[in-house]
Amino acid sequence: MVVGANVRIGAATRIGPYAVIEGDTTIGARNRIFQYASIGADPQDLKYRGEPSRLIIGDDNRIREFTTIHRGTEGGGMLTRIGNDVLVMNYAHIAHDCMIGDHSIIANSTELAGHCVLDEWVVTAGMCGIHQFTRIGAHAFVAAGSKVAQDVPPFAMVAGDRARLVGVNATGLERRGFTPAAVAALKRAFRTLFYSKLLRDDAIKQVLAESGEITEVRRLIDFIAHSARGVVGRDRD
C-alpha cells in the first residue's frame, strides 16, 4: 500500500494491499478500498500541467480491485468527486472532473470519460462506455455494454451500441420505494415525450398539464429542458 503525503483518510476506512492513493485526495469514513486500486493519480488530459487539483471521496463507499479514479483539471473546476455509499466494481475507470452521486453502482469495466456527471442512484452495468461531458439522471439504469453519447434522463433505462431508450426503470424505482402513482405518471410522461409524434415543446406542455404536480415528473422535465447534449431517444420504427 502506498499513501501520499497530501492524502487525508477518515475513520474506519480500510485499504487493501498494493493500493496506491496519491495527490490531493480526501477520503471520508468507513470506506473500503480493495487491493490494486489506483486513487488520485494525475488526470489523463494532455492539457494538464501539474495544477493542484483534487479528488474528494465521501463515506461508506466500496472501491474494488484495479479501479482507477483521477483528480480534476482546470477545465472542470479542479475537482473529481465521489459521493456516499457508491460501489465501484473491478476495472472501472472514473476520469478527471467526474461527479458521482450517492448510492450509485458502477459495474465492472465501465469507463467514464472526463467531466461526466452521474446523479444519485444511477446504475451502469458491466462494460459501459460513457462519453465525456455526459450526464446520467437520477435512478437511471444503463444496460451492459452500452455506449452512452447523450444525456440519459432520470428514471430511464437505456441499452445498446449508441444507447437508446428502453423505457422507465420501473423495477429499480419499485425496489427503492417509489409509489405506484409516481411510476405510472412517469410511464405516461415517457410515452408522451418519446413515443408520441408531438414536438418536444408541445410534449412537455402536455406532460406538465397531465402530471405537473408530481415531483418525479417535474424533475424529468427539468432535466430534459436543461440538457446540453440532448437526451437519449428511442429507436425509430
Active site residue ranges? 96-97, 114
Write out the H or E segment, with its range, that includes residue 189. Answer: helix 180-190
Q: Please answer whether residues 103 and 82 qualify as being in contact, where contact means their C-beta atoms are separated by less than 8 angstroms.
A: no
Q: Please answer whether residues 94 and 110 qualify as being in contact, where contact means their C-beta atoms are separated by less than 8 angstroms.
A: no
Q: Please answer whether residues 29 and 59 qualify as being in contact, where contact means their C-beta atoms are separated by less than 8 angstroms.
A: yes
Pairing of strands 62-63, 32-33: parallel
Name the grid cell of 102: 450517492
Give the integer Cα–Cα distance in Å for 206 and 72.
Answer: 41
Single-letter amino acid, residue 146: S
Give the integer Cα–Cα distance in Å for 183 and 199.
Answer: 23
